[in-house]
Amino acid sequence: MIVLIIVASILLASISIIQFKNEAKQYHQERLEHKEDAIKENINYVLSNTTYPLTPSNLALIFKDKIHELSDIHNLEINIYSLDGILLKSSKSRFSIDPVTPPIPKYILKLVQSSIEKRYVDIKTIDGKKNRSSYSLIKDDKFKPLGILNLPYVEDDSYYQAELQSFLIRLAQVYSFMLLVAFGVAYFLSSYITKSLKTISDKLSETSLNQKNEKIVLEANSKEINLLIKAYNGMVDELEESALKLAQSEREEAWREMAKQVAHEIKNPLTPMRLTVQSFQRKFDQNDPNLKQKINDYSETLIQQIDTMSSVASAFSNFASMPVQQNETLNVVDVVELTMDIFNEEYIHFKAEQEEIISKIDRTQLVRIITNLVKNALQAIPENQENKAVCVNIKKASSNVIITIADNGIGIDTHNFNRIFDPKFTTKSSGMGLGLSIIKNIIENYNGTITFESQKGKGTTFRVSLPLINP
């Protein structure tokens, strides 16, 4: 709207300027013609009443005094030239007449003679002003050429310029007011139109696959915006349906993979159990003096494999069940220190910066976290390594308690950094690889974090951060 108004104002101003210039040009052209017709009628009247013979040489005598009267009557300079273009008489004062007045140019004489009307208007611009000079033949009553009438005319455009300036000022005022109105209307219209788009934009920015997305309840006046809202609401329905299908697919895939892993872990002890039973059945002899010892060995083998299967089932059960938060206010330092007592290794070192750091957490879950991390640290140190060390430190930082478990074992390969907390990932020859995944789940349920740093051949440090409460 604003651009259209500006373009319209520029076009109108340009057309107005051109129109005023054309009117001024036409006005001066017609005025000169009227003046010329009137002066020629007066000249013909003078010629018809003169006593001098009507010859070219007598023109100066005939208009000796009359030329000044005609100039005063018509308020215009009058010059009379001979047919050869020599000035014979001028209405100018004697002292202002150039003693050596240049003759009419030959090309003008030819144009006057060759034209049908025996008339020519020469237009020149002098000092920024347009000068018209009319040349026409003076004839006697028998239409015989006697001389050439010259009427110099200087165009005065001051009136038209004043009118044009006044018009442009009024035009600018009107269009300035229209621009202000257009700005206001455009602002309110754009705000009204984009209000619906802003609502849609906000909803789109909030749309996520991991949450319940709200539909847009809005009835816009624009058909196109209503179609956009309808399309968005349809997309929300499809997104919700896709999210449900994706979640179901992910759950099915996770349980499928877990089932494969559990089946694999269960098959491992079943094979030696089967071989043991078959061997015992094949070699069983009631009269064997070592029968009792063989039965004991057979029983221990089966019990060992059954314990392995039981540990697999327990690990799977622990991973499948979310930790239940039985929160209690406790001293983290005491709980961790008591947990460390179950480990008999002399190279385990415990240190706490404060004797009391209070937090609200499940005691059993905290024990599970410490036990799992310390056990992993012990297993990461080779048995043949001379200098072994596992350091457990506790400190208070801002509103969190920081527990670090560091070892000087073999470390973790950098290409495994992103998989450490993945279920069923393990670098050990035994186990299901669920320990770190379980404790990470526990820690995150308490709005905590667990991170690690490791260097191959130098060891690993796990850092657990849990929120505090004021004691």
Give the start-to-end residue ranges of the domains of the chain. 2-161, 223-320, 328-467
From residue 293, how far is each of 28, 280, 290, 298 by CA, in Å? 141, 12, 5, 9
**What was the pLDDT predicted at 166?**
86
pLDDT of the residue at 408: 92
- With 0.85 as the threshold, say if the pTM is over it: no
**Would you give the end-to-end CA distance of the chain in angstroms?**
68
DSSP character for 118? S
**Cβ atoms of 118 and 147 closer than 8 Å:** no
DSSP string across 194-213: HHHHHHHHHHHHH--TTSPP
pLDDT for the residue numbered 249: 78
Q: Report the distance separating Cα 130 and Cα 84, nearest Å.
A: 26
pLDDT at residue 161, as a whole number: 77
What fold does the segment set 2-161 form as a domain?
Beta-Lactamase (3.30.450)
- Which pLDDT value is given to residue 212? 66
* The CATH number of the domain covering residues in 328-467: 3.30.565.10
Q: Are 298 and 330 within 8 A, CB to CB?
A: no
In this prediction, the residues of the chain whose per-residue pLDDT falls under 50 are: 95-97, 322-323, 429, 432, 471
Contact between 164 and 9 under an 8 Å Cβ cutoff? The reply is no
Alpha helices in 144-222 (DSSP H): 158-206
CATH top-level class of 223-320: mainly alpha
| Segment (H or E) for 224 | helix 223-283
> What burial letters (b/e) apply to 381-418, b meaning 16+ CB within 10 Å?
beeeeeebbbbbbbebeeebbbbbbbbbbbbbeeeeee
Q: Residue 451 has what pLDDT?
A: 92
Give the whole-angstrom CA distance, residue 166 versus residue 171.
9
Distance CA 31, CA 153 (A): 10
Burial class (CB in 10 A: 0-12, 13-18, 19+), 147: buried
DSSP states of 317-352: HHHHSPPP---EEEEHHHHHHHHHTT---TTEEEEE
